[in-house]
Amino acid sequence: MRNFLLNLLERFETTVHKFNGNGNGNGNGNGKHPIPELIKHELSLENTYFRTTASTTQKTENPLDDSIDRAQRYLINQQNITDGHWVGILEADTTLTSEYIMLMHFLNRVDYEKQGKAVAFLLKQQLTDGGWNIYYGGASEISASVKAYFALKLAGYSENESFMKKAKECILGMGGIMNANCFTKIYLAMFGQVDWQAVPAVPVEMILFPAGFYFSIYEISYWSRCIVVPLSIAIARKPHVTVGDDLLKELYLVPREDVVYRIERDQDGFCWYNFFIDADSIFRRYEQHPIKFIRRIAKKMAEKWLLEHMEKSGGLGAIWPAMINSIFAMKCLDYPDDHPALTAQMKEVEALVIYEGDMLYLQPCVSPVWDTAWSIIAMNDSGIPGSHPVLQKAGKWLLSKEVRDFGDWKLKCKVEEPSGWYFQYANEFYPDTDDTGAVLMALQRVSLPEDMHKEKTLLRALRWLQAMQCDDGGWGAFDRNNNKTILNNIPFADFNALLDPSTSDVTGRCIEFFGRIGFNKTYLNIKKAVEFLKKEQDEDGSWFGRWGSNYIYGTWSVISGLIAVGEDINKAYIKKAIAWLKSVQNSDGGWGETIKSYEDSALKGIGKSTPSQTAWALLTLITAGEIKSSSTERGIDFLLSTQKEDGSWDEREFTATGFPKVFYLKYHMYRNYFPLMALGRYRHFTHKLATSQ
């Protein structure tokens, strides 16, 4: 470990000069990279940063040690024994299961046993008011309810069933079928349930815009790109699956033939919203009489893009909506059912199915890289050394998942060698900075043989992560400078996540890694990141969480990064964040935040205590030096008192985010590795504090 770190420090010199941007190396004129306190600690102890004297195999009477021991054992038992990775279930809402039924009927390949299990899940998830929500504890949501109702209709259920009557009344009470979002209407149009006039224009010709053009597909987020390109192919064909065009007539507030499809303009006159409404009107008229040779070229280019981007990926974009849209697209291109590309996508779809007794539901994707990185960090921070076989095996698996090919990101990010990590088992075109930051912090903790070339990998990934920083000082997830906000006015962008701009939580993760290897605020790019985060802070001291719910997650991510790069914990804005976090602690000692805070900021930090959100709050307080505060001790007591005998925790709430206000997630491993991480760090710092006195 000592030789590795010394060699790594030497190899940083060139990279540091570039990152600093002023040729001064560490920004103070001496031209050398400072040996950070973290690495000094590792060099002196020949061990990992959070290593403690507690044994993970020895039973103890200390409640904290016993809790950590049980949590470690539970996590080890969840590890894949073959290759060492971890992966938990990634749960979403019922829309995916509804779409699974719709997909079977679109293909005319209904597996009635699977359909029955999917129906059982939908019926179990139906709320007392008849609708379906998009997160645990949430109110009925119109698009989820319409999709579930339609899926049940496709499965043969009559509108006269009592549960269907309740669903219908609920949907009508929310404005009826025409209040569903654009993607729901597109799917329903394929089945003849809404008119194609209800669907905003998604012209396949947009693939012809060159990279760098303001309206290029590369100016929208990776997930939007992967969803929209195949969907544009399908819309160009306007398929019609015969199931009876009046299957959902009862969900219209007015007779279908009387529906007005005009989009209401903003009354302020010229604005980007009105501009895109006018553009949509023009494109819709063009759709009726497209220029044939241009459309033919566009479809060929879109098909080529589609097939290329399905290579080296667990399905297009390795995410559910892109996968099923690619299937729709290939069928609209007249691919036979046994075409290799089509069968490959179907295989990836089936891999997302979770069977639970007599039910099944769908995951939006899988999270092995993310889960493995955080599991390593939690295990190491709670006392398991980086040389332990459990962590070495996981570290080797993570190394094998490094991206080694250029992806879409290369258009705005100029590096000599590709690197980074994706979220899933395979998604070579789309590594992301959030996973990469977490993986690098995990690999930093693991001792691996020299022939694994960990040093070269870390340096390569470091350069890639540096190059992905946006001009505003922050980091987005998958692209640089994916921030043309006027595009959010495009009519089909109502899923609230067309773009991938810099966010506080991802920026915090990135600078936390840089801080751990010695970068601090004297470096130009770190200084820019800190300034970005200061601008993003809310008045009450909290930060928004783009990828986790919500302000508790964002504040944890940011404070972790700021302290890592040497920000003074006594700075007013840091103290303000800590004060806010303490102010929202629940009476039971834990922390929780409802998903509703994305819609109403008055609810930020408010909600039933959960293990994962309590852990994030504790990690923030511990990082800020609040080891002995009553808030920290009460939070630790909450985790100890709610842990189950097998070492795990229960958590029904959704605490992660796909698209704010539209799509939420529940990582089944969050409730276990984050509490372990918090308990481990608490033990380390209380031990350190005790021995220093």
For the annotated catalytic residues, the residue numbers are 434
Q: Where are the alpha helices (DSSP H) in 242-333?
A: 272-288, 292-310, 320-332
User: For 277, which DSSP code?
Assistant: H
Cα separation, 109 vs 119, whole angstroms: 16
Tokens of 294: 């241009």
90-91, strands of its sheet edge to edge: 90-91, 663-667, 656-659
State CA 223 to chain mean position distance: 11
| Whether 252 contacts 177, CB under 8 Å | yes
Map residue 134 onto helix, strand or coil: coil
Kind and range of the H or E element at 300? helix 292-310
CB atoms within 10 A of CB 346: 18
Cα separation, 607 vs 605, whole angstroms: 7
Residue with structure tokens 């905003």?
200
Question: Phi, psi (5° rounding) for residue 293?
Answer: -70, -30
- Identify the CA nearest to 515 among candidates 501, 529, 503: 529
- Identify the CA nearest to 663 among candidates 87, 224, 351, 191: 224
Tokens of 114: 């699977």
- Identify the CA nearest to 497 among candidates 294, 665, 346: 665
CA dihedral 505, 539, 595, 618 (to 10 degrees): 60
Distance set, CA 350 to CA 86, 152, 337, 354 (Å): 20, 20, 15, 9
Beta bridge partners of 432: 421
SS3 per-residue string spanning 426-480: CECCCCEHHHHHHHHHHHHCCCCCHHHCHHHHHHHHHHHHHHCCCCCCCECCCCC
Task: Decide: residue 294, CB within 10 A, 0-12 exposed, 13-18 middle, 19+ buried.
Answer: middle
What is the per-residue DSSP string for 522-542? TSHHHHHHHHHHHHH--TTS-
Cα separation, 328 vs 187, whole angstroms: 10
Count CA atoms within 13 Å of residue 53 on its CB side: 4
Cα separation, 496 vs 122, whole angstroms: 25
Q: Where are the alpha helices (DSSP H) in 139-221?
A: 142-154, 162-173, 182-190
Question: Phi, psi (5° rounding) for residue 521?
Answer: -70, -10
How far from each other are the two terminal CA atoms of the chain, in whole angstroms?
30
- Identify the CA nearest to 510 among candidates 529, 492, 497, 536: 529
Residue with structure tokens 């920004």?
27
Residue with structure tokens 């004129």?
29
Count CA atoms within 13 Å of residue 508 on its CB side: 26
